[in-house]
Structure 1
Amino acid sequence: MEFRLAIPTDTEEVSSLWAYCFEPKEDPFFQYYFENCYEPENTMVGIEEGQLLSTVHLRQYDLNVRGTTIPTSYMIGVATHPAARRGGIGGALLLSSLEELKQRDQGITILMPSKAAFYQQYGWELYAHQWVQTLPLDELRPMTDRSLHFGLLNSVEQWTLLAPVYDEYTTGLSGYAVRGETEWKRLLGSFFAEGVNVAVARNEVGDIEAYCVYRLGAPEIMVSELVYISRRGQKSMLNYLYNHRSQGESIRWNEGLHDVGYRFHPNGKTGHTTMPYMMSRIVDVQTAVESIPVDADAAMMEITFTLAVRDELCAWNEGIYEITLGGASAALDIADVQNKDDLMRLLGVNGGTPKVKKISDSSEGTSDVYIEVGALSLLLMGAVSANELAFEEKIQGGQEWLDYLDLVYPKQNTYINEWW
């Protein structure tokens, strides 16, 4: 099978395969996506005997990881026609996509799995889970607040009202999508095309403290995004949804794992579960490690160590790397300061990024630390500590190196809520 980026004349076959595997063509999201968002130049296709049998859409995003913004591709719509399944095409499609992303100098890619095990065998790991809260609407009352008033949005131009709330909510988190005007308008456009509602909660001076995105029409009201800057804001939004008791029987909403409000639920034994949400994978080890900053204090210690990476899919990642950290402030002279980022590095506020040099194409040699490529992604994103990875047998090294890696890459609260 030949894999290549799509061209405009492939659009009919690409959309037909999407309709076969996902939503039918008459579905509002299908129509919105292929009329407004589909990008042939960011879609990998598999062709055999003139037939398009496999696709993956490479949605372009910026992720905030450990306080820095990195470009990434969000793989969606991974599909293979049943006539071509169980022949290794899925893995070959993913490999071709990773080769393309490497050429684009992207270090990490993400995807939302329908079944994590399929992608884990190819080096992806889950970096973000979500709480899933499900309650009968009648039981929601003790969790509500009536001090704010509500409004509905109905235009993509109102994205500027939501952006400050989202930006404050995600402050200090890792792995989330950076949303600018383009991303917000695309997102709101899809909501309105599908008939999804967007409500906001305002305080006494008119500032928005929370918003939610929800859908009516079924016994369970689905809330696909609930974002707030205060607990009062969240409770006020739940009060707004409580007012829909005549239009639904229960409510389901998702939260980031960093939220601890579940500890104060009046009935914590039911309706509170976790959901595997987003996976990440290293595209290119050197690009990924050199793109993501380390802890500022750890960066002040000048240390070089070797890291052996095992990657059974991407041969270019397999090998031993020399990682050099340290002297963040020494790496930049005051005369080199051109902007705020330069100044932050000079002062050691931002730990800077390591220098990486590949010294072997085999991971079998002597090294200070041995790690699987999927585990490296979790460590960089901040989802799992080095010592936790060692317990899971995903990393090997002396205790002093594991402890050092936990100083360099301390755990983070990870979060993302992009659906496509």
Structure 2
Amino acid sequence: MEIRQLNSTEFEDSVSLSQYAFQYKLSTEDKEKGQERFKPERIWGIFENGALSAMLTLLPLEVNLQGRTVSMGGIAGVSTWPENRRQGLVAKLLSHTLETMNEAGQTLSFLHPFLIPFYRKFGWEIYCETKNYTIPVSKFPRKIDVKGIVRRDVREDLEKLELLYKHFASQYNGTLVRSKDWWEHSVLNENTHHAVFYSPEGDAEGYILYRLENRELIIREFVYLNEASRQALWTFLANHDSMVTGAALKFVPSDDILPFLLPDPRITQENHPYFMGRIVNAKAFVEEYSFSGLASSRQLKLFIEDQHAPWNHGLWEWQVTDQGIAFLEKIEGERAQGDVVLDIGTLTILLLGYKRPAEMAKVGRLTGSDTEVQWLEDIIPAQKTALFDFF
């Protein structure tokens, strides 16, 4: 058995496994395009007797965290031939990938799970949710005459999307930092329309990405910087009322309050656990994190359970200064010596902001005295998470 990156001659092998595992078929044209964009160094495979048995893709990405950029390893395309399943091959790949990300300085890893319980075993945990709305035309927001203009499908406006997205996405932890290549190949396509709202002063203040399909508006992204831009874009959408029966909004952040703002809030709403996240290197992540400063510096002993990243597993001395700067030093000791005990998945969602320490203590996902739990509540700032992409 050999674990290694694929080489340029193994495109067909990777496509064959991917098509079989995910049950799709590439056309000749799509396969040619895929080969042009093939990056074998991003695909890790397990080979047995020279044959590819299992693989995954490791994407070098960046995400927003507390207003700064953090390196993240995105895991995608985890697949195995059926005759090779339940032999621990994916477990070996994930462990190897954790080591690879750690060596590369990627302190976080995200993935979209085919089965949440499976990846929880390896330390990944749900870190964000996404909402979907289905709104009939009769329940659209009221049309409002907003000063400014909405420009549709103007090619020169595309450069504004990145600036608006960057501003909007920075409000959340875990949103992707999009490269030009990501915009071109993972966000925009020939079926996607875009509309940008400009204020009377000529400033771009919001955009939507959408398509028209079977007399329905499919809204893939709705980004706005203020209430005027939100109202203007909704008025633009409502002006399709003679063409469509309704709208479906996808990838809506979990803190969105659109239903409350509708004349009739009784619309179909779905809330889905979405991506999973994992801290790859606890020391590096915690020491780069901005905690809330308290009146005085304090420290406690933290025991982290992480069987698949041994550099995280064990007892740590955790100090946070009155300025919110943290230090994490590994020390000798057992689980019972920890003032606070939690697993790496719980630590991840606490620091990303998806869940709070008190609720995790209440359900047994962390243990500690009331005093220690309150300390965590005090030093971890309230934050919100989101992700508008898929990989």
TM-score (norm 2): 0.90
Q: Distance between the aligned counterparts of 2:382 and 2:28, measured in 1?
A: 41
Contact 1:384–1:411 (CA under 8 A) maintained in structure 2:
no
Q: Distance between the aligned counterparts of 2:372 and 2:57, measured in 1?
A: 39
Q: Distance between the aligned counterparts of 1:194 and 1:363, measured in 2?
A: 57
- The alpha-carbon distance between structure 1 residues 146 and 119, as it changes in their structure 2 partners (threshold 3 A), is farther
- Per-residue deviation at 1:399? 0.9
Aligned partner of 1:132 in structure 2 is 132
Q: Distance between the aligned counterparts of 2:360 and 2:299, measured in 1?
A: 21
Contact 2:305–2:344 (CA under 8 A) maintained in structure 1:
yes
Spell out the pairing of 1:243-282 with structure 2 (5 A cutoff). Answer: 243-245=239-241, 247-253=243-249, 254-282=251-279
Q: Distance between the aligned counterparts of 2:145 and 2:235, measured in 1?
A: 7
- Per-residue deviation at 1:97? 1.1
2:191 to 169, 191, 195: 195
Q: State the number of aligned residues.
A: 388
1:223 to 216, 219, 229: 219
- The alpha-carbon distance between structure 1 residues 88 and 207, as it changes in their structure 2 partners (threshold 3 A), is same
Aligned partner of 2:342 in structure 1 is 371
Contact 1:159–1:188 (CA under 8 A) maintained in structure 2:
no
- Per-residue deviation at 1:227? 0.8
Q: Distance between the aligned counterparts of 1:167 and 1:191, measured in 2?
A: 14
Task: Could you tell me which runs of 5 or more consecutive residues in structure 2 were left unpaired when the two chains were aligned.
Answer: none
Spell out the pairing of 1:225-240 with structure 2 (5 A cutoff). Answer: 225-240=221-236
Secondary structure class of the residue paired with 1:77: strand
> Which residue identity does 2:81 align to in structure 1?
H
- The alpha-carbon distance between structure 1 residues 369 and 24, as it changes in their structure 2 partners (threshold 3 A), is same
> Which residue identity does 1:416 align to in structure 2?
L
Aligned partner of 1:213 in structure 2 is 209
Q: Distance between the aligned counterparts of 1:123 and 1:256, measured in 2?
A: 24
Q: Quote the sequence identity (%).
A: 26
1:397 aligns with 2:368: yes
Secondary structure class of the residue paired with 2:275: strand
Contact 2:304–2:344 (CA under 8 A) maintained in structure 1:
yes
1:319 aligns with 2:318: no
Contact 1:138–1:242 (CA under 8 A) maintained in structure 2:
no
Secondary structure class of the residue paired with 1:176: coil
- Per-residue deviation at 1:102? 1.2
Contact 2:340–2:372 (CA under 8 A) maintained in structure 1:
yes
- The alpha-carbon distance between structure 1 residues 213 and 405, as it changes in their structure 2 partners (threshold 3 A), is same
Q: Distance between the aligned counterparts of 2:246 and 2:116, measured in 1?
A: 28
Contact 2:63–2:174 (CA under 8 A) maintained in structure 1:
yes
Q: Deviations over 1:271-311 (max 9, x none)?
A: 1221212210121221221222212x23x622121100112
Secondary structure class of the residue paired with 2:118: helix
Q: Distance between the aligned counterparts of 2:269 and 2:33, measured in 1?
A: 33
Indicate the larger mover: 259-268 or 190-199: 190-199
Indicate the larger mover: 262-271 or 278-287: 262-271
Spell out the pairing of 1:299-338 with structure 2 (5 A cutoff). Answer: 301-326=296-321, 328=323
1:356 to 325, 328, 331: 328
- The alpha-carbon distance between structure 1 residues 168 and 30, as it changes in their structure 2 partners (threshold 3 A), is farther
Q: Distance between the aligned counterparts of 1:219 and 1:89, measured in 2?
A: 45
Cα-Cα RMSD: 2.5
TM-score (norm 1): 0.84
Secondary structure class of the residue paired with 1:57: strand
Q: Distance between the aligned counterparts of 1:31 and 1:207, measured in 2?
A: 41
- Per-residue deviation at 1:202? 2.3
1:83 aligns with 2:78: no
- Per-residue deviation at 1:260? 2.3
- Per-residue deviation at 1:116? 2.1
